[in-house]
Amino acid sequence: MHKGMTFAIATLAFIVLNLIVSWRSLRWDALYVTAVLLPAVMMGYIVTWLIARKRNSR
């Protein structure tokens, strides 16, 4: 496993854990959910794309 891939999975897992904890402790606005989820999804997409590019270049 790549170090970058491990880091990406750990980061995403950390974000998901934070989302679950926050979800239980307070009621969310749709705006707040979007503000947190959108960057997380975009980051995951960018990381996946970078890994795919690195794999293809070999």
Residue 50 vs residue 19, higher pLDDT: 50
pLDDT category, 58, cuts 50, 70, 90?
low
**pTM of the predicted model as reported, rounded to 2 decimal places:** 0.40
Where do the domains of the chain lie? Answer: 3-57
Cβ contact 14:43 at 8 Å: no
pLDDT at 31: 67
Cβ contact 12:44 at 8 Å: yes
Cβ contact 5:55 at 8 Å: no
- Return all residues near 43 (Cβ < 8 A) that are at least 6 apart: 11
For the segment 6-44, what is each residue's pLDDT rounded down to a tens digit? 888 888 888 888 877 776 666 566 667 777 888 888 888
